């Protein structure tokens, strides 16, 4: 089964062979976490760095802000049977796709992500962040394989 993760959204699957995909990772970040032992994986597409920008929006949609979404994402993975300690975490996005990005949203998203993960004792296993192009991120449940595509090209992460 194919699961599509929208902007400010996340999906988790405990079904080997399922595919999770998120499109248009520009300044947004995509996180793919997979626990091979439990055959559980999930993907998060997060948009903004911190919920302090708009606490009401954070309450309405916890997947919008990095600082709120990442802990909730790992809690949801654990509820599905994954272990945050066994999860392989891969990250993509954080680009500057609109010329001069005065607010540096992609860069700030990445910095906040690293801080949140560090506080939780979680390490990033692979990442493809920055640049000036959007990416699509794919993950296959069971194998844990993660790959990206952009501009007609695909590469493993």
**So what's the pLDDT on residue 101?**
67
Return the exposure string of 117-127: e unless at least 16 CB atoms fall within 10 Å of the residue's CB, then b. Answer: beeeebeebeb
Question: Is residue 134 helix, strand or coil?
Answer: coil
Determine if the pTM surpasses 0.85.
yes
pLDDT tens-digit profile, the chain (157 residues): 999 999 999 999 999 999 999 999 999 999 999 999 999 999 999 999 999 988 999 999 999 999 999 999 999 999 999 999 999 999 999 999 876 767 899 999 999 999 999 999 999 999 999 999 999 999 999 999 999 999 999 999 9
Q: Which residue in this structure is represented by tokens 């796709």?
A: 97
Residue 28 falls in the annotated catalytic set: yes
Containing domain of residue 11, as a range?
A: 2-156
The one-character DSSP state at 51 is G
Contacts of 43 (CB under 8 A, 6+ apart): 3, 5, 10, 11, 20, 21, 22, 30, 31, 32, 33, 137, 139
Structure tokens at 8: 């400010």
| Domains contained in the chain, number | 1
Catalytic residue among 28, 64, 89, 146: 28
Tell me the CATH number at 54. Answer: 3.30.1330.200
């Amino acid at each position: 089964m194919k699961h599509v993760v929208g902007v400010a959204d996340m999906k988790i699957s405990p079904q080997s062979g399922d595919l999770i995909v998120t499109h248009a990772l520009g300044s947004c970040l995509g996180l793919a976490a997979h626990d091979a032992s439990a055959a559980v994986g999930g993907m998060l597409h997060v948009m903004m760095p911190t919920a302090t920008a708009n606490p009401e929006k954070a309450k309405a949609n916890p997947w919008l802000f990095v600082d709120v979404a990442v802990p909730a994402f790992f809690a949801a993975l654990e509820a599905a049977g994954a272990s945050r300690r066994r999860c392989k975490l891969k990250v993509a996005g954080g680009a500057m796709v609109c010329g001069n990005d005065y607010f540096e949203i992609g860069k700030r998203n990445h910095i906040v992500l690293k801080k949140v993960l560090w506080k939780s004792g979680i390490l990033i296993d692979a990442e493809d962040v920055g640049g000036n192009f959007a990416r699509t991120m794919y993950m296959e449940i069971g194998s844990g394989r993660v790959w990206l595509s952009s501009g007609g090209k695909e590469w493993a992460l």
